[in-house]
Amino acid sequence: MTKISQIEPIVLAQTEKGSATWASVMILVRVVTSNGMVGFGEAVPTLRVINVYNTIKQVSKGYLGKEAEEPEKNYHEWYRQDFYLPRSFESATATSAIDQALWDILGKELGAPIYKLLGGEVRDKIPVYANGWYQDAVSPEDFAEKAKNVIRMGYKALKFDPFGPYFNSIDEKGLQEAEERVKAVREAVGENVDILIEHHGRFNANASILIAKRLENYNPGFMEEPVHHEDIEGLRKYKSATVLKVALGERLIGVKEAANYIGDGLVDIVQPDVCNIGGISVGRKVIHLSEAFDVEIAFHNAFGSIQNAYSLQLAAIAPNLYFLENFYDWFPRWKRDIVYDETKVEGGYVNVPNKPGIGVSVNEKAIENMKAEPKEIEVSEEPVWVVKGTWKRYS
């Protein structure tokens, strides 16, 4: 058995005109053991870079000196220590990143990729849907042209947010604009490609129901976060008003929270994020939980290439996988360099990486080159969760 001897939070950043955006930042965790083994994990940046960085340091106090080969036991020990883990995004993402790194170390010690430690793969190629492809798209023509490019790349599914700057409510003009964009994409890609509608959890139930009625004729594969994450009653109202599939889960921070949505029939496709659900230890449990309720799974996978590698490991063992989200083709080059570009998308699929642990080689030199001090993220009119350049009207 080896002890956890060091846990280091690392901020990577590429600045744009002197400031960083969350999409140009990654937060990694480097875990080192008493026998020199190294594992990497990834945490969520958004607008909380400094908070998460500092929380990793605090959470580390609960892991240092523990057995590196016992990630499940270590997770529960931190759950015991941190009274607010089920309510703290910062603690949840710090814990998730450390848990990932411990599974990476365990796999390396045993000479096997993580998926083999979890029962083995049910597929060796992961179907992925495209996201991030519609940057600066505003008009229907913009969306259609960019969607055609995505299909030429071999993708069989793509996700996008057609709602521009609308928040909470939406008027007839907004409904018409959204419908025109969705119609343009559907006509551009044809009927055999899944189009997935991202709401970013920003509407009330009445608005989201109006949206569903307008868009149901375009046969969307799912409607993601149609209402605010915490609006359980709004979600019930939405589910009773439409037959469209609901996808959600990127803000879930534990298996019991996931159970509330899955067990109550509020979600058709659950989207846990390995960077805040509780890492591999909890992510695998959500797979089994969702399978028991005939709910499909599509891991949220929007941050960096380390997250992507772990998401591929979990997707490999999920018999109820729908698609895996994919930003990889729209990552800045440096994010792909961190894993030596080993998780390329080919024909809408990614081969499951099978090196020990995380499955890929980690480029520590590239990490050193991108290291940065944790800083605040600037806040602009266009929120950080928007695909850049789409937060405006075209007419």
Residue 364 has pLDDT above 90, yes or no: yes
- Could you give the CA distance from residue 35 to residue 87 in angstroms, rounded to a whole number? 35
* Gap between the Cα atoms of 271 and 296, Å rounded: 9
The predicted model gives 1-12 an average pLDDT of: 95
* Residues 159 and 81 reside in one and the same domain: no
Q: Residues with catalytic annotation?
A: 200, 300
Express as a percent the part of the chain with pLDDT over 90. Answer: 94
**139/124 same-domain check:** yes
First to last CA, the chain: 64
Same-domain check for residues 181 and 80: no
CA dist 253 and 317 (Å) reads 21
Check whether 83 has a pLDDT greater than 90.
yes
Q: What is the pLDDT of residue 112?
A: 98
Are 127 and 78 within one domain? no
**pLDDT (0 to 100) of residue 253:** 97
Residues 136, 186 share a domain: yes
- Please check whether residues 25 and 39 belong to one and the same domain: yes
Q: Per-residue confidence at 17, pLDDT binned at 50, 70, 90?
A: low
The answer to the question of residue 219 being in a domain is yes
Where a domain ends, among 62, 89, 113?
113
How far apart (Å, rounded) are the C-alpha atoms in residues 180 and 187?
11
- pLDDT (average), residues 231-250: 98
Residue 367 in domain: no
Distance of alpha carbon 161 from alpha carbon 173, whole angstroms: 16
Whether 50 shows a pLDDT value over 90: the answer reads yes
Locate the DSSP E strands across the chain. 4-13, 25-33, 38-43, 125-130, 157-160, 194-198, 222-224, 246-248, 269-270, 296-297, 324-326, 349-351, 371-372
Whether 385 is in a domain gets the answer no
Final residue before a domain boundary, out of 358, 375, 390:
358
Is the confidence at residue 276, as pLDDT, over 90? Answer: yes
Question: What pLDDT score was predicted for residue 19?
Answer: 53
Provide the residue range defining the domain that includes 58. 4-113
**CATH classification of the domain holding 170:** 3.20.20.120
Same domain? 224 vs 139: yes
pLDDT confidence band for 295 (50 / 70 / 90): very high
16 band by pLDDT with thresholds 50, 70 and 90: low
Q: Which of 83-92, 295-304, 375-384 has the lowest mean pLDDT?
A: 375-384
Phi, psi of 267 (to 5 degrees): -140, 140
Q: Is 275 strand, coil or helix?
A: coil
Q: Tens of pLDDT along 235-244?
A: 999 999 999 9
37 shares a domain with 158: no
- Residue 386 falls inside a structural domain: no
| Buried/exposed 174-197: b ≥16 CB within 10 Å, e otherwise | bbebbbbbbbbbbebbeeebbbbb
Same-domain check for residues 279 and 209: yes
Pick the last residue of a domain from 89, 113, 137. 113
Domain annotation covers residue 208 = yes
Q: Is the confidence at residue 347, as pLDDT, over 90?
A: yes
Q: Is 128 found in the same domain as 251?
A: yes
Query: Tokens 């690392």 sit at which residue?
Result: 10
Q: How far is CA 92 from CA 25, 198, 245, 293, in A?
A: 19, 24, 28, 25
Domain containing residue 102: CATH number: 3.30.390.10
The confidence score (pLDDT) of residue 394 equals 82
- Please compute the mean of the pLDDT values over residues 7-23 and round it to a whole number: 75
- Is the pLDDT at 21 greater than 80, yes or no? no
DSSP helix/strand/coil, 86: helix
Whole-number percent of the chain with pLDDT over 70 = 98
* Same domain for 306 and 255: yes
pLDDT at 250 over 70: yes
| DSSP 8-state code for residue 132 | S
Round to whole Å and give the CA distance between 99 and 62: 12
Query: Which pLDDT band holds residue 320 (cuts at 50, 70, 90)?
Result: very high
Residue 22 counted as domain residue: yes
Judged against a pLDDT cut of 90, whether residue 22 lies above it is answered with no
Residue 295 and residue 57 in contact, taking contact as beta carbons nearer than 8 Å: no
Instruction: Specify the number of domains making up the chain.
Output: 2
- What does the pLDDT average to over 361-365? 98
Beta bridge partners of 125: 351
Q: How far apart are CA 169 and CA 205, in angstroms?
A: 9
Same domain, 86 and 125: no
Asked if the structure places residue 395 within a domain, the reply is no
pLDDT of residue 15: 65
Instruction: For residue 368, tell me if it sits in a domain.
Output: no
